[in-house]
Amino acid sequence: MTQAAPLISAHGLELSLGGRPVLTHVDLAIQPGEIITLIGPNGAGKSSLIRVLMGLVRPDRGEIRRRPHLRIGYMPQKFFIDPALPLRVTRLMTLTAKAGRAEIEGALGETGVAHLADAQVQSLSGGELQRVLLARALLLHPDLLVLDEPAQGVDFGGQAQLYRLIGDIRARRGCGVLLVSHDLHLVMAATDRVLCLNRHLCCAGPPEMVAKDPEFIRLFGEDAAGAFAPYAHGAHGHDHAHTLSGEVAPATDPAHDH
């Protein structure tokens, strides 16, 4: 395995769904051990982009290179199990992976939910389910974790903890992480690089730089950009709430369409 080779690289991705352009001219590369956050308003093509990167959707144009034998651990955005399907956490973990009890409990322990091994999946809270799904992705020994809105349905304090946990996992396992999010402030603290997507890549770079980018401010508003100040100076892993709503400003500037 070469050290310098990116886990995934993509050039000139184009995708239309139902006649509407979803991705135009997207280039990106994910390096080993790096945490990248994909950020953008609703409908910006974030989920489509990760589906294309994982090979679930074929782009209309463009090229994707995955490192040979790349193992991806995926955590989907929406997860609902029909109440008619009885399923314990251990069985959910081994739907496609083959793993023994000790291995399963190890992965669950890493995300802090080892006590839930025998719980029925339908009885889990939002935060518990996200941690179980994260443990499930870890069980595949991934080189790259792809996490689509991992903090969904998790309360605020829990979100901060979850992002800290993702940072810990990266430090321990050295895997790359591709996060999708639209809650800005928490993610920014735990990420190496931010890609701001609105069908095309508006801007990319370290969080402090992206926050100052006029394109980013146009998409997300001054409030969001201003909210980075404490993170730029502050220590990691604080858990105080900001006044910032985290909501996305409407992108209505017609002059910007290209």
**Interface positions with other proteins (CB under 8 A):** 51, 54, 56, 72, 74, 76, 79, 81-82, 84-88, 91-92, 95-97, 120, 140, 146
Q: Between 54 and 117, whose beta carbon lies closer to other proteins?
A: 54
- Please name the residues in contact with 94: beta carbons below 8 A apart, sequence gap of 6 or more: 104, 139
Q: Between 83 and 250, whose beta carbon lies closer to other proteins?
A: 83
CB of 96 to other proteins, least distance (A): 4
CB of 131 to other proteins, least distance (A): 16
Where do we find the tokens 């400003």? Answer: 249
Q: Are 36 and 182 in contact (CB under 8 A)?
A: no
Q: Between 16 and 168, whose beta carbon lies closer to other proteins?
A: 16
CB of 23 to other proteins, least distance (A): 18
Q: Between 78 and 258, whose beta carbon lies closer to other proteins?
A: 78
CB of 53 to other proteins, least distance (A): 11
Q: Between 65 and 242, whose beta carbon lies closer to other proteins?
A: 65
CB of 123 to other proteins, least distance (A): 12
